[in-house]
Chain A
Amino acid sequence: MMASVWQYILAGVVVGAIYALIAAGFVLIYQVTGLINFAQGEFAMIGAMTAASLAGAGMPTLAAAGIAVVAAAVTGALCYLLAIRPARAATGVTLIFITLGLDVALRGLGLFVWGTNPLSLNAFSGGTAVTIFGGVLPPQALWVLLTDVLVFGALYLFFRHTYTGTAVRAAVANPPIASTFGIPLRTFAFWSFVVAAAIGGLGGVVIAPITSATFDMGLTFGLAGFVAAVLGGLESLPGALVGGFVLGIIVKVAGGLLSTGWEDGVGFFILVLVLVLRPQGLLGRAVRRA
């Protein structure tokens, strides 16, 4: 019993790492544009499906992975240019519906391009599974965790130690004033979509060898990323990281103990609880309401 719970926890850490990546994308876009991008999970789908189909056609796995991340980033750029920017003047609910439209459009696109059959992708490397206290992690799980370290490390360095990163933080803190100092808000909005899409795509690519890739994986991953972002308070990258792992572990343990069919239900139940009890997220400080 305890051994299987430990194994569920390890499995939760692995998917949690992916949720954290997708949550990071949400947080980036939300911080820079104030927009919740319901299409976020589809970037993971595009990444996973592109990599799996290219590798299936004979391309080396790492090359296919690289192209897949670029494909996801280009998709993100197109989403911003074709759907978000033309509707800048719109209000909150309209923008929600637009990203919802993007979500179903991308999912439909995935169905057109790749069909309904799941595609598989080889693990990035061979090697034997790692055993930790009797629980097993496949080699690909290490790639997943390494990806998280690299992505969150890079984001940290960018925001804390580069001039542009500081400018983005200024733009987030106070858009009008940042704008008067010549900070290009719209350019940042564009790049937030590109980077969020690339990170999401990368998440899809590294998880594909574990879960396989299907055209409809985006909704599940997108919503899980969402819940992770909300757990983390929606405005913090470290929060997204923690939220991803917390959610992954809870979902996998609950799914393992109940039945896997309940996984989505548990995830969203937690979302609702957090929204009601701690809208500032697990790590966030309560904001005094006026």
Chain B
Amino acid sequence: MHGRIGLVLLVAVAAAVWVLPSYYTGLLTQIGLYALVTIGLNLFMGYAGQVSLGQAAFFGIGAYASAALAVKLHVTPWAGMLAGALLAAFVAYVLSFVALRLRENLLALATLALGIVINVVFNQWEFIGGSSGFKDIPGFTLGAYTFDQRAYAVLAWALLVLGLWFAGNLVRSSFGRSLVAISAGELGAQALGVDAERLKRQTFVLSAVYAGVAGAVYASQQSYIDPSSFDFLLSVNFVLMSVIGGIRSLSGAVVGAAAVVALKQMLQATVPLVLPGARGDFQSFFFGIILIAMLIYLPRGITGRFAEARRA
């Protein structure tokens, strides 16, 4: 079902980019890429019942891998995307031996810390540009055609639809049901023969692949990245997207990403009118309040709410 809705969305996006001003096309791309990251996060947090506060790091690894290959070695971003996904997967795989031994509070803490350590590495490693990052990152091409903003929106949403389709199949398979069993109780799941450790690891790695692919496209689309593009606040934003849309929901990832991107635009347009001095990441104030309010009043997110209404 997700696949069919996804195809309709993709056609809608492909049509929309011809009429929308390029600024909004850029926002559509942003929504598509963030939603892709959030799908991975929802698999890991919503379905497997774990928590990651460092997802921006995998997004960053994808972006940096692709950008470094393209800028330093003139590798096409298509291969860079693959490399970004593989590197993010590899890092997640290695980290999983550390992080996934922990639960809840300490897992949250460890993923948060890992996210920040990786950001420090981005900042300190001069080979990948240090604090100034990469400029003039080459764009995607198809033959002689170099992608413009419209093409990036279509690419982002095509990847999103693919990601939704894959994740949709996954959660309906025995793999997905095992994940839900783990989130309900790891010991119980193990008693039923679920290899919890292995499944958690695979899901963590998969979430990193989603983030890595999105990051690689992001790097070429923006043509500029620096460490501040992948900081702690972005990880919090991913959590917010996940919670707003509904943490155990795949379509929720799209809803959440769209809501957060739209919200950010609205706040940036309206808040300075009321408070002329407002600068920097002041949206985080509202994002924090919204996150708390969602968790208290709508803990299953927007899509969870609709699902309840349908059942009732």
> Which residues of A are at the interface with B, using a C-beta cutoff of 8 A?
36, 38, 82-83, 86-87, 90, 92-94, 96-98, 100-109, 111-112, 115-116, 215, 219, 223, 226-227, 230, 259, 261-262, 264-265, 268-269, 271-272, 275-276, 279
Contacts and interface: CB of A to CB of B under 8 A. Distances in A.
Ordered nearest first, which 7 A-B pairs have the shortest CB separation? A108-B285, A105-B288, A101-B291, A265-B120, A268-B113, A104-B288, A108-B284
Given A111-B280, A279-B106, A101 B292 contact: yes
Contacts of A87: 292, 295-296
B51 A96 contact: yes
Given A105-B292, A276-B101, A271 B110 contact: yes
B114 interface: yes
Given A96-B51, A223-B116, 12 more contacts: A100-B291, A104-B233, A105-B284, A105-B287, A106-B288, A107-B285, A108-B287, A111-B278, A115-B279, A264-B116, A265-B117, A275-B102
Nearest to A96: B108
Given A223-B112, A268-B114, A97 B239 contact: yes
A37 B120 CA distance: 23
A96 B105 contact: yes
B121 A265 contact: yes
B292 A102 contact: yes
B233, B286, B292 pick with most chain A CB within 10 angstroms: B292
A90 B113 CA distance: 24
Given A92-B104, A265-B121, A97 B284 contact: no
A276 B288 contact: no
B275 A112 contact: yes
A108 B283 contact: yes
Given A98-B295, A108-B284, A275 B236 contact: no
A279 B101 CA distance: 10
B230 interface: no
11 contacts: A92-B105, A96-B108, A98-B295, A104-B284, A108-B287, A111-B281, A116-B279, A261-B120, A269-B117, A275-B110, A276-B101
Interface in B266-281: 275, 277-281
B243 interface: yes
Interface in B130-167: none
Nearest to A230: B109
Interface string B27-62: 000000000000000000100010101000000000
B contact patch SS: helix
Contacts of A92: 104-105
B105 A272 contact: no
A103 B284 CA distance: 9
B279 A98 contact: no
Nearest to A91: B104
Given A96-B108, A275-B98, A83 B296 contact: yes
Contacts of A97: 239, 243, 291, 295
Interface string B93-111: 0000010011011101110
Contacts of A116: 279-280
Contact of B113 (A105, A262, A271, A279): A271
Interface in B259-312: 275, 277-292, 295-296, 299
A149 to B, nearest CB: 28
A272 B110 contact: yes
Contacts of B106: 230, 275, 279
B284 A90 contact: no
A83 B297 CA distance: 11
Contact of B117 (A107, A219, A268, A276): A268
B124 interface: yes
A104 B282 contact: no
A276 B102 CA distance: 8
B229 interface: no
Contacts of A96: 51, 104-105, 108
A259 to B, nearest CB: 7
Given A104-B285, A265-B117, A268-B113, A98 B278 contact: no
A112 B295 contact: no
B45, B116, B290, B296 pick with most chain A CB within 10 angstroms: B296
A93 B45 contact: yes
Contacts of A112: 275, 278, 282, 285
Contacts of A227: 113
B232 interface: yes
A4 B101 CA distance: 39
B123 interface: yes
B104 A226 contact: no
B51 A219 contact: no
Nearest to A276: B98
Contacts of B120: 261-262, 264-265, 268
Contacts of A215: 280
A103 B288 contact: yes
A105 B283 CA distance: 9
A108 B281 contact: yes
A36, A223, A268 pick with most chain B CB within 10 angstroms: A268
Contacts of B243: 97
A112, A215, A219, A230 pick with most chain B CB within 10 angstroms: A112
B114 to A, nearest CB: 7
B106, B109, B232 pick with most chain A CB within 10 angstroms: B109
